[in-house]
């Protein structure tokens, strides 16, 4: 019988929990990845992420700004345009996102699923 005592019981790392509370929400990672190379205007950001609604994009941008990962900037018009750029903290996620992309290329090649040969 398995020992389920305190020594065996583990808890998820608090840092990992905070990361996935924010980036684990639908669309958030795609927004960050889209903003990684350069600032993007709202309309262009929406076009870059197929399937996201204006409302959802707006909500996620507010959450990322509140977390200190991006800044909303109003471009002087006319026309008046709003763009978003990552802060230093947001840009610091680039190595982790690139590594996740490499991992996906290696292990999620079977229609978004891990091929049988890696399921050992």
Query: Can you name the CATH fold of 14-118?
Result: Arc Repressor Mutant, subunit A (1.10.10)
Read off the tokens for 22. 């924010």
Average pLDDT value for residue range 71-98? 93
pTM of the predicted model over 0.75? yes
pLDDT of residue 98: 93
Q: Provide the residue ranges of all domains of the chain, joining segments of one domain with +.
A: 14-118
CA-based R_g, the chain, Å: 18
Under a CB-based contact definition with an 8 Å cutoff, are residues 70 and 35 in contact?
yes
pLDDT of residue 113: 80
Strand partners, 85: 71
Q: What gap in Å lies between CA 6 and CA 53, rounded to an integer?
A: 45
Enumerate residues 6+ apart whose C-beta is below 8 A from 1: none
Q: Tens digits of per-residue pLDDT, 32-83? A: 999 999 999 999 999 999 999 999 999 999 999 999 999 999 988 788 899 9
Phi/psi at 85 (5° precision): -140, 150
């Amino acid at each position: 019988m398995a020992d389920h005592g305190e020594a065996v019981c583990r808890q998820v790392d608090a840092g990992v929990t905070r990361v996935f509370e924010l980036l684990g929400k639908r669309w958030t990672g795609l927004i960050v990845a889209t903003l990684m190379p350069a600032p993007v205007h709202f309309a262009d950001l929406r076009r870059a992420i197929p399937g996201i609604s204006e409302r959802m994009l707006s909500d996620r941008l507010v959450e990322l700004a509140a977390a200190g990962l991006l800044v909303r900037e109003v471009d002087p018009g006319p026309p008046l345009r709003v763009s978003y750029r990552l802060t230093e903290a947001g840009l610091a996620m680039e190595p982790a996102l690139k590594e996740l992309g490499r991992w996906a290329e290696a292990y999620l090649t079977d229609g978004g699923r891990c091929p049988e040969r890696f399921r050992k």
